[in-house]
Chains A and B, each alone.
Chain A
Amino acid sequence: MPPRRGPGGRRLLVALLALGLLASVLPWWLDTPAGSLKTTAATVTAAGRITGLVAGYLLLVQVLMMSRLPVLERWIGGEQLARWHRDVGATLLVAVLAHAALILVGYADLEGNPVLTEAGVLLRDYEDMVSAFAAAGLLVLIGFTSVRAIRRVLPYELWHFLHLASYLALLLGFGHQFSNGAQLFRPGPVRTLWIAMYVLVVAALLWGRVVAPLAFNLRHRLRVADVVAESPDTISIYLTGERLGELDLLGGQFFRWRFLTRGCWWQSHPFSVSAAANDRWLRLTVKVVGAHTRDLRDLDPGTRVWAEGPSGTFTAAHRVRDRALLIAGGSGITPIRAMLEELPPGSALIYRARTPADVLLHRELDWLAQARDVRIWYVIGSRHDPGPREVLSPDGLRRLVPDLAGRDVYLCGPPGLVAQSLAALRRAGVPRRQVHLATFEL
């Protein structure tokens, strides 16, 4: 059983990021004498500066959270980081828009120009403002295409490509902060520290996206060993490699996989590992839902695999109580199957599948039920059918697992099942911190 990894790492990071936010506004606070904001122009400009400092800082936080830095991926987990990235992203969008609007209005008032004329003046007379406007435009575009309703109707590639352009926004927005930023244009400690923040984030990016994956893949050299059908629409891919015994992998974690074949090498997809770490093989179990996963069925043994990870906090090490209830839907069983080997005996598993043929890894689960004293209920049918609905109600859950409120609950499955279970668990009195989710729901 892995030692517990408490929420300490996450709390530390949240505290550090909050402190950083305060510190980034501090230069403005110290530079502005009390009572100096007498005119409307001065007040509006001041608000524009604050939002500008906040936006500059949040942009760096956004990039840092997506840097794939191993320590972040293990302490916070890719899913949690993605949720934070979404929420901070919305805030960043508002901060950027507010910064641009307030500075424009404030400067227009200060120099006695109409707002549109002032926009022209800013673009023409101020250094680096053309690129700053471009950066703001890019960030707004990225922000809007990430709004859930809009993102769903866009092709994934367009959204992804735009998101890649945020590196460009980082670069384009860099100059104007130092040529025009009231707190940053003079050489001094504030300017130096601000540049240092940029250097740190770029270093984290290089480490997480280039150095760490390179080191990992040179060390383990993963290859496809076999592809096995688990059900009509689900496959397991077995991988072998070097030094697999040294992998720092917990059951329930995932890698981002890149299969180096002609058609697949350019896309990377997160899949959970579906068995606990051992020194001979790795396995991922994948439901065939799209073009990419269809191609995976035809992988030849020996194909090289590029992996980034492991990532995730959906593991036995992140439990806060001694016993666990696991709720899986469909192919959501894969991380839970891996985790069962590492949870203390006495866990309970509710596994909903559409038909008996959709029950994956059946024999392994029955073996685990015996070896690790796991009680398993297979619930067959759609979640709208009476049977599954009854089981996934607060009373149904309590009947199956009377000590529910004292257990960690691990949830993995389709969004509908997760939402339904979350509501039932809340009404059954399970504290939120005992509930663990493995969804990339954005």
Chain B
Amino acid sequence: MRRALLAITGLAASTTALVVLKSAPGASQVAQDLPAEAQPAVPGGAAPAGAETSAAPSASAAAPKPSRSAARAPATRPSPTSGARTPSARKTSSKPAQPTTRTVTGPVVENEYGNVQVQITLSGSRIVDAVALELPEDTAQSDQRSRQVDDTYSGTSGLVVELQGADLDTVSGATATSTAYRQSLQAALDRAS
């Protein structure tokens, strides 16, 4: 019985210790947090033409984990970063009638489940693609909701592209995430115009 008491005490102590250790900000984390917080101050400088290049580093800084939507199905959806876009942009720009595509990133919007950040790709003033760089995915439940929001709104054939704006119906059961998505999207649209 004495051993059982020891084990139970050990369980309580080590769980507390683990949580406390993780609550203390590590040195590397501070460095990661800074650009993410400073990011909303930069967008003015990110002119439409330069947005494409500035979007890449800020996206990786804002999301310490690899973004789910970017990592999940890279083949089915055009990559938000410049790599895959550039050749097609160059090809289309040789045709004078076609406007150039550009990428604009919205700010990180926080809600109680996590952060939401949206990036849109525009061809002239038309939205051709929307990608969620970050969505709440802490619990299986919020991950599931995020996936519903992402599937409904994002993509070349999602609601954003279809309706060409941020005036979207809320995804039922995922109100907070839908709202945050629309806020980030609206800010990106404002930034683009």
Contacts and interface: CB of A to CB of B under 8 A. Distances in A.
Contacts of B22: 29, 32, 34-37, 46
Contacts of B138: 42, 45, 182
A94 B139 contact: no
Interface in B85-113: 112-113
Interface of B: 1, 3-5, 7-8, 11-12, 15-16, 18-19, 21-26, 28-30, 32-33, 64-65, 112-113, 138-141, 143
- Report, nearest first, the 7 A-B pairs whose CB atoms are least far apart: A35-B25, A34-B26, A90-B4, A87-B4, A91-B7, A180-B140, A37-B23
A315 interface: no
Given A88-B4, A91-B8, 11 more contacts: A25-B18, A33-B32, A33-B64, A34-B29, A46-B19, A54-B15, A87-B1, A87-B3, A87-B4, A90-B8, A125-B141
Contacts of A47: 15-16, 19
Contacts of A88: 4, 7
Interface stretch (A104-112, A283-291, A349-357, A382-390): A104-112
Contacts, number: 92
Interface of A: 25, 28-29, 32-38, 42-43, 45-47, 50-51, 54, 86-91, 94-95, 98, 107, 110-112, 125-126, 179-182, 185
B4 A50 contact: no
Interface of A is mostly: helix
B112 A90 contact: no
A51 B139 contact: no
Secondary structure of the B contact surface, majority rule: helix
22 contacts: A28-B18, A29-B22, A34-B21, A35-B22, A35-B24, A35-B26, A37-B19, A37-B23, A42-B138, A45-B138, A50-B18, A50-B19, A54-B11, A87-B4, A90-B5, A91-B4, A91-B11, A94-B8, A94-B11, A98-B11, A180-B140, A182-B138
B8 A180 contact: no
A87 B3 CA distance: 6
A126 B141 contact: yes
B142 to A, nearest CB: 9
Nearest to A41: B112
A22 to B, nearest CB: 10
A37 B32 CA distance: 15
A309 B21 CA distance: 46
A179 B140 contact: yes
Contacts of B140: 126, 179-182, 185
A182 B139 contact: yes
Nearest to A39: B112
Centre residue among B26, B32, B139 by max chain A CB count within 10 A: B139
Contacts of A98: 11-12, 15
A95 B113 CA distance: 26
A37, A38, A42, A89: which has the most chain B beta carbons within 10 Å? A37
B10 to A, nearest CB: 8
A42 to B, nearest CB: 8
A112 B1 CA distance: 40
Given A34-B24, A37-B23, A180-B141, A51 B15 contact: yes
Nearest to B7: A91
Which of A25, A50, A89 has the most CB atoms of chain B within a 10 A radius of its CB? Answer: A50
A94 B14 CA distance: 14
Contacts of A46: 18-19, 22
A180 B19 CA distance: 20
Contact of A29 (B18, B28, B33): B18
Contacts of B24: 34-35
Contacts of A86: 4
Contact of A180 (B11, B21, B139): B139
A68 to B, nearest CB: 22
A23 to B, nearest CB: 14
A90 B64 contact: no
Nearest to B33: A35
Contact of A110 (B33, B113, B143): B113
B123 to A, nearest CB: 34
A146 B20 CA distance: 34
A42 B29 CA distance: 17
A111 B29 contact: no
A112 B3 CA distance: 39
Contacts of B21: 34
A429 to B, nearest CB: 21
A27 to B, nearest CB: 12
Contacts of A87: 1, 3-4, 7
Contacts of A38: 23
Nearest to B25: A35
Contacts of A89: 4
A112 B64 contact: no
Nearest to B143: A185
Given A90-B8, A182-B138, A35 B19 contact: no
